[in-house]
Amino acid sequence: MAAPKHFPWSDKSLSPDARADMVIKEMTLDEKIQLLHGPGWQAIFAPQESGPLTRAIAVLGFIPGIPRLGIPDLQMTDSNQGISMAGAKGRYATALPSDEAMASAWDPQLSYEIGTMLGQEMRDMGFNMSLGSGINMIREPRNGRTFEYKGEDPLLAGTLAGQELKAEKALHLITDVKHYAVNDQDSGRIVVNSIISKRAMRESDLFAFQIALQDSGAGAVMCSYNKINGTYGCENAYTLTDVLKKDFGFKGFVVSDWGATQSTTKAANAGLDIEMPGNDSFGEPLKKAVESGEVSPARLDDMVHRILRTEFDSGIVDDPPQPQSPNVMHGFEVAQKTAEEGAVLLKNAHDQLPLNASSVRSIAVIGGHADVGVISGGGSSQVSPAGGNPVPPPQSLAKNPFTAFMLLEVYHRSAPLKGIEQKAPKATVKFDPGTDPASAAALARSSEVAIVFAVQHASEGMDLENLSMPNNQDALIEAVAAANPHTIVVLETGGAVLMPWIDKVAGVVEAWYPGIRGSEAIANLLFGDVHPSGKLPLTFPKSEADLPHPLHVGPPKPDADHPLPKLVGAPGLIGMAMGIGPFFDVHYDEGLKVGYKWYDAEKKPVLFPFGYGLTYTTFTYSGLKITSGDGATVSFTVKNTGKRAGTEIAQVYASLPQSAGEPPNRLVGWTRIDLAPGESKQATVTVNRDRLSVFDEETDSWKLPAGQYTIRVGASSRDLPLEHALSFEK
Ligand code: BGC
């Protein structure tokens, strides 16, 4: 499709706002309304033989454009673990590692590379809008979508999402950040009311969005299913208009999560611009609300303006995607690099790793379907497995789309067993499925090294029952470790898990959901062809009793006091059935103390702290210097004191003056440093003023508290050998 040339608003020298206004002047009311909603649930489920929906790559993510005015269709796709709506038309897409892997790399440049790869694949398939990057905070580690998010710190999550989306925007796509906001658990997501203070919200969950939007210029924000302090996320004037549009200065549009629009007038006037994928609220009802004056013509034009100006600003009008075959090999490279940089070495007793390929004689590979593939996360971000799922699901599951959506365990065809065999051609490598701990232990006993692959399924639409490894895998690991002191556990999990066996195994590698090149990446790390460098983007607690919410809160059973709510858009909500129950509240009383800030403030020991990760060498820190200006410039020296090359992710934390009432430490910056054996390098981290500020509810503004700060530098949130005072005056 060639770019339209013949409209007055085709003039690229005009601003996106001016171009949008010119189009609006030509539009009828029906055309305006058409841009504000999806096809409707009935149309989605009906076969399409004619009409605009036949142009849709995926009807679930489609809004027809206005050809007579040169306004393109919006073709949207999820893109958290790769392009997931590609499967709608049977197209191949690279299955990337989960977002948690990307976050563990702490590498903004890698995030940019990921964004470029995703953006190119979207264009290759004809999509012009990404449904983005998920950056909800990990307040509830049992959240089934932890794997789609980027950890528990707003600076880390916001910065990485910012780079990913900046790269996609540079390829002329509309980009999106989600799920706005405080959608920090998934069970009961459409009936849960997240109760949280303004200050906690602004400094944590919303701060992540603020950073991502500032850094990327993303054109869309997806509002979430849940209520926030009593009002649905998609009709919440505080979050959508006061904060997002006014305070953040966001000029793009707000799109509802799928089926999350609960009203017409309230939602439109609160700041929602597009209902997806239905039309129950923003189709005919919105037209009527405009005609009756409940939604003003000015607000209607603002909604349309936001969409059109984003279309011009992103480049989707001037440079529409030209479908072509994807560069599969490049996708592999990015997937592998992400899996390698994102894996976190959690334990390595007696330098058990890396394995020596030329001397190891026998290896037992156990469990996790490691003979055929690696597991991935479920739900809307699920990338169709190339070549099909090598671990066929039970028939009963596959037949029901709603349960399948959550419960299907999909593996990608990248078998760790093969990667290990290739690295150690002289060794005897045997596989045991791990279903019978005794048989696995027998194989481990007769092998020099045992590698257990332990997998955890997690998905959108549900939370984990607990943080324990499912399916008797703890017992499997215990049995194998008892049989072989050289036992290494490779975890493929959505987030943090408990490890009752941690003292009994020699090594632990957290590989997250490692994607289509998981096998190569894991083998490279285990055999030392690549050194591990990832650091945890979230805390691994010792026990669920230590969590801010030891008991997970879900929807109560319906009864006279807790009736089932009446929700708008009933047919569509079948798809969200997993979220329906009586309304309930989750009190985020931990407030500012998200993740490590909680464990630090409560002085709780943890299994592995935020920011933690080992490698095959060691580092020392020295020479901290700080110069203050508007914020602070922090410099220090890191030395590689071991015998192998390594990459250190050096982290900078700040303690604010006591009067600020903040948790003990907050991450304010970091840098990645590559070091040869014996090499030292000086690193400099700039800490912007906003990283040191607090949100003052009384004045509704940010303030830099006066007084004494302590800047700390080191290898994790709990290993900060350098510290220096810093003062700011009133
Ligand atoms: C998810 C969103 C996703 C949308 C479209 C919803 O179920 O919550 O993250 O973008 O579906 O697939």
Check residue 575 and give its pLDDT: 47
Per-residue CA distances from 587 to 401, 468, 530 (Å): 32, 24, 43
Q: Give the per-residue SS3 of 563-586.
A: CCCCCCCHHHHHHHHHHCCCCEEE
Distance (angstroms) between ligand 1 centre and the Cα of 287 equals: 26
| Listed residue (336, 337, 342) closest to 493, CA to CA | 342
Could you tell me the distance, in angstroms and rounded to a whole number, from the CA of residue 276 to the centre of ligand 1?
10
- Is 506 a pocket residue for ligand 1 (Cβ < 6 Å)? no
Atom of ligand 1 lying closest to residue 178 CA: 9
As given in the structure block, the two tokens for residue 667 are 């991450």
CA neighbor of 271 nearest in space, from 310, 300, 243, 241 = 241
Q: Which helix (H) or strand (E) holds 694?
A: strand 694-696
Query: Which residue has a Cα nearest atom 3 of ligand 1?
Result: 380
For residue 303, report the distance from its CA to the centre of ligand 1, in Å.
Answer: 21
Which residues of the chain are under the pLDDT cut of 50?
571-572, 575
Place of tokens 């992400």: 338
Q: Is 129 near ligand 1, meaning CB less than 6 Å away?
A: no
In the reported structure, the alpha carbon of residue 90 is separated from the centroid of ligand 1 by a whole-number distance in angstroms of 19
Does the beta carbon of 131 lie inside 6 Å of ligand 1? Answer: yes
| CB 99 less than 6 A from any atom of ligand 1 | no
The two structure tokens encoding residue 696: 């003052």
78 ligand 1 Cβ < 6 A:
yes
- The answer, yes or no, to whether any atom of ligand 1 lies below 6 A from the CB of 492, is no
**Residue found under tokens 């073709």:** 75
Q: How far is the CA of 711 from the centre of ligand 1 (A)?
A: 39
Ligand 1: centre distance to CA 611 (Å): 29
* pLDDT score recorded for residue 626: 97
Task: Report the DSSP beta bridge partners of residue 450.
Answer: 364, 487
**Ligand 1, closest atom to CA 134?**
9
Answer whether 275 contacts ligand 1 (Cβ < 6 A): no
Give the per-residue SS3 of 112-129: HHHHHHHHHHHHHHCCCE
Distances in whole angstroms, Cα of residue 424 to Cα of each of 7, 419, 432, 446, 511: 63, 9, 18, 17, 20
Residue nearest to atom 11 of ligand 1 (CA): 258
pLDDT tens profile 503-520: 999 999 999 999 999 999
pLDDT at position 3? 52
Query: Which of ligand 1's atoms lies nearest the C-alpha of 222?
Result: 10
Per-residue confidence (pLDDT) for residue 58, from 0 to 100: 94
Q: Using alpha carbons only, what angle is made at residue 513 by residues 596 and 258, rounded to the nearest 5 degrees?
A: 85
Q: What is the pLDDT of residue 2?
A: 53
Rounded CA separation 257/221 (Å): 9
What's the rounded Cα separation, in Å, for the pair 394 and 398?
7
Does the model's pTM come out above 0.85? yes
Q: Can you name the residues that pair with 639 across neighbouring β-strands?
A: 620, 680
d(CA 130, CA 122): 8
- Give tens-digit pLDDT for 467-484: 999 999 999 999 999 999
Ligand 1, atom nearest to 148 Cα: 9
Taking only the tens place, the pLDDT of each residue in 545-575 is: 999 999 998 888 889 988 888 776 654 455 4
Cα-flanking dihedrals φ and ψ of residue 392, to 5°? -60, 130
What is the per-residue pLDDT for 222? 98
